[in-house]
A and B are shown apart, each in its own frame.
Chain A
Amino acid sequence: MAVSKELLDILVCPQCKTPVRITADEKGLKCATCHRVYPIRDDIPVMLLDEARVESE
């Protein structure tokens, strides 16, 4: 797995603090509250607001 389970268990959105979930393509981590998707680069989650894209749903 690109991102370890240990990290997935504790990572939240830095903006609204909602736990993030890995996207279907496993290339990002999505916040269900603000719909931001944080990219995963070189297997490292990029939890920065201005690097996230906002998905419509």
Chain B
Amino acid sequence: MAQENSHQQRDRVRERFTRTAEVFSSFVLTTRTADAELLVEMAAPRGGECVLDVACGPGTFALQFAPRVQTAVGLDVTPAILAQARAAAVAAGASNLFFVNGDSAALPFAAGTFDIVCCGYSLHHMSDAAAALREFARVVRRGGRVAVADMVVAPPGSFAVNNAIEQARDSSHVRTLLPDEFPSMVEAAGLRVSECRTTVSPRSFKSWMSVGGWKLGEETYEATRRLMAQSIEGDTSGFHPLLAEDDSGDIHFQQTTLFIVAEKP
């Protein structure tokens, strides 16, 4: 029987995404459309299919799937972010998109319910990503697809340095995976990886911290900035950070994302 995410972890995720519900939703719904389109293209939904978006946040991925399938379901553990998702679905006229407040590790669906299960930028918030992937594999039908995207630690970054920066910014961050580790984990869940793609997105440290709910001068902001700045020499974080050439004090860096589509045999 699947176990829910630990209560501590659920509380951390809820605190973070309740506090930042508006700024986070506005950021991802405007900047991650291309990511969602890419994952949809890779998952190749067909008209009559049913898709589940796990840890859907404000519906970034579910909203792209909805017009291409019969039914789309978005599940998330944070009610405040589901309110954002529902507003976005209404604005988009997505009348076939429905929402559930639930836990990614104990999904309230029978085995084989969905044609596609997707999960975007959320595995790093889960207590046990490997167990979550097994749960995705359970609720997808045989011959169906699991489509997941999440950040990875890009070479030559160190797992420890990269994750220390992420955790300094966001206490609900559990772990960013290594590029090789991610597809192995998908396969270990009983799925057969059919396609992997990597994207690199330029980010501004200031904007990244703002989406995390932190302002310049705040302790979390400064502590995270120190760690990011320390990782510039030798790119020990894998973020390829560079100090801005103006006097803004900003740091430009790159977020590397791995997109994986796998079939359930």
Binding site for B on A (CB under 8 A): 4, 6-7, 10-15, 17, 19-20, 38, 41-42, 44-50
**Interchain CB contact under 8 A, A7 and B98:** yes
Chain A CB within 8 A of B94 CB: no
The interface residues of chain A lying within 8 Å CB-to-CB of B96 are 6
For chain B, residues 1 to 26, give those with C-beta under 8 angstroms from any C-beta of chain A.
Answer: 1-2, 4, 7
Considering only CB atoms, which chain A residue lies closest to B52 in the complex? A10
Alpha-carbon distance A38/B101, docked complex (angstroms): 10
Chain A CB within 8 A of B129 CB: no
Alpha-carbon distance A10/B140, docked complex (angstroms): 13
**Interchain CB contact under 8 A, A48 and B73:** no
Chain A CB within 8 A of B102 CB: yes
**Interchain CB contact under 8 A, B108 and A11:** yes
What's the minimum C-beta distance from A1 to chain B, rounded to whole angstroms? 12
The interface residues of chain B lying within 8 Å CB-to-CB of A44 are 79, 82, 86, 99-101
Considering only CB atoms, which chain A residue lies closest to B138 in the complex? A17
CB pairs A–B below 8 angstroms (30 shown): A7-B73, A7-B98, A10-B50, A10-B73, A10-B109, A11-B100, A11-B109, A12-B110, A14-B4, A14-B102, A15-B1, A17-B110, A17-B111, A19-B110, A20-B108, A38-B108, A41-B101, A42-B79, A44-B82, A44-B99, A44-B100, A44-B101, A45-B101, A45-B102, A46-B101, A47-B101, A47-B103, A48-B101, A49-B4, A50-B7
The interface residues of chain A lying within 8 Å CB-to-CB of B83 are 42
- Report the 5 A-B pairs with minimum CB-CB distance, sorted nearest first: A47-B108, A47-B102, A14-B106, A14-B108, A46-B101
What's the minimum C-beta distance from B53 to chain A, rounded to whole angstroms? 14
The interface residues of chain A lying within 8 Å CB-to-CB of B100 are 7, 11, 44-45, 47
Considering only CB atoms, which chain A residue lies closest to B102 in the complex? A47
Alpha-carbon distance A8/B108, docked complex (angstroms): 11
CB contacts between A and B, total, < 8 Å: 63
Contact A14-B103, Cβ < 8 Å, known A4-B98, A48-B4: yes
What's the minimum C-beta distance from A20 to chain B, rounded to whole angstroms? 8
Contact A12-B109, Cβ < 8 Å, known A6-B71, A7-B73, A49-B4: yes
Chain A CB within 8 A of B107 CB: yes
Considering only CB atoms, which chain B residue lies closest to A3 in the complex? B98
Chain A CB within 8 A of B113 CB: yes
The interface residues of chain A lying within 8 Å CB-to-CB of B77 are 48
Considering only CB atoms, which chain A residue lies closest to B108 in the complex? A47
Alpha-carbon distance A4/B70, docked complex (angstroms): 14
The interface residues of chain B lying within 8 Å CB-to-CB of A41 are 79, 101
What's the minimum C-beta distance from A6 to chain B, rounded to whole angstroms? 5
Alpha-carbon distance A7/B50, docked complex (angstroms): 11
Chain B 78-103 interface 0/1 with A at a Cβ cutoff of 8 Å (1 = within): 01001100100000000010111111
